[in-house]
Amino acid sequence: MTDILVAPRDQLETRTFAALQAAGADEASARAATRAMLHASRLGIDSHGVRLASHYADVLQSGRVNPTPKMETRRTASGSAVLDADNGLGHAAAYAAMELACNMARESGVAAVGVVNSSHFGAAGAYALAGAEAGLITISMSNTDSIVALHGGAERFHGTNPIAVAAPVPDQRPWLLDMATSSIPFNRVLLYKTLGRGLPEGVAADPSGQPTLDPSLVEMLIPLGGTDFGFKGAALAGMVTLFSAVLTGSTLDHEMIRMAETHDFETPRRIGHFCLAVDPDRFAGRALYDEAMTRYLAALRASGAGEGKNVMAPGDREWAVEAERQRTGIPVDRDTAQFLGLNT
Amino acid sequence: MTDILVAPRDQLETRTFAALQAAGADEASARAATRAMLHASRLGIDSHGVRLASHYADVLQSGRVNPTPKMETRRTASGSAVLDADNGLGHAAAYAAMELACNMARESGVAAVGVVNSSHFGAAGAYALAGAEAGLITISMSNTDSIVALHGGAERFHGTNPIAVAAPVPDQRPWLLDMATSSIPFNRVLLYKTLGRGLPEGVAADPSGQPTLDPSLVEMLIPLGGTDFGFKGAALAGMVTLFSAVLTGSTLDHEMIRMAETHDFETPRRIGHFCLAVDPDRFAGRALYDEAMTRYLAALRASGAGEGKNVMAPGDREWAVEAERQRTGIPVDRDTAQFLGLNT
């Protein structure tokens, strides 16, 4: 990312929201997408931050995404529901799905909402985090368009299919995992190409499926675990497809219109998401959970590190970035700054 | 494994069951543990197969494991329950927990059972598979004693903490993932040591946390993802600890008495497990789910492979081993054969 500007959070938020509204999004859709993009931008997940605002504005205007969706929820049992996103922005649908999953889980102990007829939802961690901030242990996931080979494969098959998990921690920010099931995202390949750097081993392959360190030869990513253990990453990607798409009847990764690398920006992509919530009150009980979580994280952070290294809990890096950016502002690349009217 | 004998499945099953009963296990405990060990032995997961029978017999007699547990289930909501295993064999508890989760999920859409006061439960996939064979998408997991460093760590912190996921497939064996969150299990290190072979890169470290290829120097495993991306494997291991132990109030990995590398075989280890079931009938509906699952797997198996390679769905390798062993019998190492009285 070519940083040309560091913007205060409030200004970024206002401009992003205004840009989505200007592209036709209704207030609820624009608010949810802005919240999710700011989540990512605040925490340093810049690939899913305000950089995406211009993409969302494009697809709101081109027909792929419905700017004024009528979301409908069908409750199917005490702990399950299906939310039809009416091809609106995925962020609004996923926040609503997680909120419903949490409300149901408070009654039924565990609950899940499958989202259908949705679109790109940005950073999966935004929704898991929202649930953890409401006191529940949560999982959110979404399948995405094909870019990762199978283990031993020579073809794009799964998406980078993120898994996010979050859990409340007393008196601290939540435990927060938000990971792609490939080792790196595809835009990291493009960044390395721009920088003229070689890739790490076992993260990407050429059109024949042969691993390559040369970013200019890359046709597909290799699943987490690399050339030896990529069957694990491929299986995790498949798990995301199972819950997000097969379970909900949504578009499979390999059938999905590509996010950007396509001429079709008119057809809705019918992406599926899956949100799960578990209420600690219905298992060990809140007091015992809180005590165990505190003890676990204290032990983790005190665990010995290698020379020159340190150990962290999932989310610790993100909370540090958030604190830093709270002080200094959020870096914005040139194109996005221009799109949001920040460099005027 | 030094194979000295190939035994027919029925004989192995009978002898394993008898050995556990001879060690004091009641019929239900012995039957469940035998079923779980045979699951592993049939599918080629020999580390968790009948090889463990003598270990279980030992801990049944030494006091660590209660040979005649009175399991108790506390239903906490429509989709949640806690099963107290009374320090019996983990297999009986986990099968019962998954069965209950499935029964609840048929009513509530989604359900989970936390298991407390349990012990080693063998292959996590045994329970996920049982749920998938009953028609549900399932997850089973358990934390285990510390052997895996954190990312950048120089100390054993998490266990190999397996995650198993299974899903029904119409007219085929289920989709089945059963993976440790380290790249390899510790007994693979011991095997490489015996064979005088070097380890793959980035799977294990010496006592200072430095990655090593020399199995004789290994003090700890490195999480899935290796030296570059091990933060993902470490987070997945942490997720297993969260659901299995923190949520249920069970022993944390680093507080757990070691399975074998200890002098204490008397104290119960109070291990926790977590079983989740999701009913496709409450999401897309069975017909749509079946159609999507079939379409997904057909596309996966038809996806292009690299030269000299092939692509497989999770479980495909195991089902092939099972078919082969159905024909030829199950290989049993010398010590286990002797323990089970097979080489007489």
Is there a contact between B165 and A325 (Cβ–Cβ < 8 Å)? Answer: no
**CA dihedral defined by B144, B147, B151, B152, rounded to 10 degrees?**
150
Q: How far apart are CA A189 and CA A76, in angstroms?
A: 42
Contact A77 B228 (CB under 8 A): no
- Is the pLDDT at B325 greater than 60? The verdict is yes
pLDDT digits (tens, 9 = 90+) for A40-66: 999 999 999 999 999 999 999 999 999
Short-list B101, B60, B65, CA closest to B271: B65
Question: Chain B 61-100, CB below 8 Å of chain A: which residues?
Answer: 76-82
Q: Residue B49, SS3?
A: coil
Of A71-80, A107-116, B333-342, which range is least confident?
A: B333-342
pLDDT on residue A88: 98
Contact A110 B114 (CB under 8 A): no
Contact B254 A303 (CB under 8 A): yes
Candidate from A165, A276, A295 with C-beta closest to B239: A165
Average confidence (pLDDT) over A227-237: 98
Instruction: Identify the band that residue A187 occupies on the pLDDT scale cut at 50, 70 and 90.
Output: confident
How many CA atoms within 13 Å lie on the side-chain side of A157?
32
Question: Chain B 307-336, CB below 8 Å of chain A: which residues?
Answer: 307, 309-314
Q: How far apart are CA A226 and CA A211, in angstroms?
A: 9
Of A10-14, B85-89, B240-244, B340-344, which range is least confident?
A: B340-344
pLDDT digits (tens, 9 = 90+) for A306-320: 999 999 999 999 999
- Is the pLDDT at B185 greater than 80? The verdict is yes
Short-list B81, B70, B92, CA closest to B114: B81
Q: How far apart are CA B203 and CA B222, in angstroms?
A: 5
Which strand (E) or helix (H) includes residue B72? Answer: strand B72-77
Q: How far apart are CA B238 and CA B220, in angstroms?
A: 16
CA of B249 to nearest chain A CA: how many angstroms apart? Answer: 5
pLDDT digits (tens, 9 = 90+) for B138-183: 999 999 999 999 999 999 999 999 999 999 999 999 999 999 999 9
B324 contacts: CB under 8 Å, gap ≥ 6: none
Q: How far apart are CA B148 and CA A66, in angstroms?
A: 47
* Average pLDDT value for chain B: 96
pLDDT on residue B3: 60
pLDDT on residue A254: 97
- Is the pLDDT at B2 greater than 70? The verdict is no
pLDDT digits (tens, 9 = 90+) for B79-112: 999 999 999 999 999 999 999 999 999 999 999 9
pLDDT digits (tens, 9 = 90+) for A190-211: 989 999 999 999 999 999 999 9
pTM for this one?
A: 0.98
Could you give the angle at the alpha carbon of B247 between the alpha carbons of B243 and B252, nearest 5°?
80
Contact A303 B150 (CB under 8 A): yes
Is there a contact between A50 and A16 (Cβ–Cβ < 8 Å)? Answer: yes
Is there a contact between B175 and A271 (Cβ–Cβ < 8 Å)? Answer: no
Residue A137 contacts B where some CB pair is shorter than 8 Å: yes
Residue A228 contacts B where some CB pair is shorter than 8 Å: yes
Q: How far apart are CA B120 and CA B269, in angstroms?
A: 9
pLDDT digits (tens, 9 = 90+) for B207-218: 999 999 999 999
Residue A170 contacts B where some CB pair is shorter than 8 Å: no
Chain A: residue whose CA lies nearest to B150: A311
DSSP conformational letter for A155: S
Q: How far apart are CA A18 and CA A23, in angstroms?
A: 9
* Average pLDDT value for chain A: 96
Instruction: Identify the band that residue A2 occupies on the pLDDT scale cut at 50, 70 and 90.
Output: low
Q: Write down all domains in chain B, each with its CATH number in brackets.
A: 4-284+330-340 (3.30.1370.60)
Backbone CA torsion sign across B173, B176, B178, B182: positive
Candidate from A184, A292, A305 with C-beta closest to B249: A292
Average confidence (pLDDT) over A63-76: 98
pLDDT digits (tens, 9 = 90+) for B26-52: 999 999 999 999 999 999 999 999 999
Q: Residue B115, SS3?
A: strand
